[in-house]
Amino acid sequence: MTERILTCSEALAEALDQEMARDEGVFVIGEDIRAHGGIFGQFKGLPEKYPDRVIDTPISETCIVGAGLGAAITGMRPFVDLHFADFVTTAMDEIVNQAAKIRYMFGGQVKVPLVIWAPDGGGLSAAAHHSQCLEAWFVHTPGLKVVIPSEPADVMGLTRSAIRDNNPVIFFQHKKLFAHKGPVPSNEFAIPLGQAKIKRQGRHITIITYSLMTHICLEAARSLEEHGIEAEVIDLRTLKPLDFDLIASSLKKTYRALIVHEACLTGGFGAEVAARIGEELFDFLDAPVTRIGAKDVPMPFSPVMENFVIPQKDDIVETAKRLVTT
């Protein structure tokens, strides 16, 4: 299988191009897409190729998501761009009270093939209104699926699966990963929702993570190797549905679990994973399930303070060393 090197932005644009060519019901809707090709270049070339299916909107996330939802339940497959994940707050009724519930409330007679694409994460000095990681809100809502890739190939494969799914999907993509490059297969492929991936094999501790933290955890794993600790790193890729089987198989080998995410620690998705591990895998554990997340404060503007709030490689290394020697 041949591969090429793409950025996450290029992978998204190519996946959308192919899905729009495959299915005339697929369209993109959001703010400033036609004029700028997306603020991260993620829609580059699409307005020219599909002038009737790349739609600019007023600055109203309520309107954008509502229009996408209406189109979805009448047979289209909209890809809704929210600019920044933080802006979901103004469309929460449409997402959690309508999109998430309609298929259930209509007894399965109505499909909701809606993708809501939401760039998230800090580290770019975008401050408190443009830096949040809000995935736990939507994992908590029945009826929604939640996707959060870390590599260009995963962006491409999960985009295809999200668009083809008949349920609403919240698709988070970390802003610091748009320019991240990686190999992408040349053939058309899809990655099933709910399929995690082992990014690095190990036998002493399992590090469970996703999004940008996947790369930070891999850096930490390389540092841990210098201390004789072999860390297994799992990139969840999809939070709902969750590939708990892969987590379980890893922990039955390593006996220690460290969960790392950029979202704030209290109420973060790591708490759900930790609870399931404690309930279902307690007998396999040699150390307490441990979480690392951001400090429970709004994201600061200062780069120094951002680094203080967001988990860093050294935080992961020191915590893993403590767990392995427990």
**E strand or H helix at 67:** helix 61-73
How far is CA 144 from its chain centroid?
A: 13
Query: SS3 for 240?
Result: strand
Query: SS3 for 271?
Result: helix
Query: Alpha-carbon distance 326 to 317, whole Å?
Result: 14
Angle between helices 244-254 and 269-280 (to 10 degrees): 60
Contacts (Cβ under 8 Å, ≥6 apart) of 245: none
Where in the sequence numbering do the catalytic residues fall? 61, 130
Radius of gyration of the chain (CA): 20
In degrees and rounded to multiples of 5, residue 29 shows phi and psi of -140, 140
Query: Alpha-carbon distance 287 to 325, whole Å?
Result: 9
Angle between helices 152-164 and 8-22 (to 10 degrees): 30
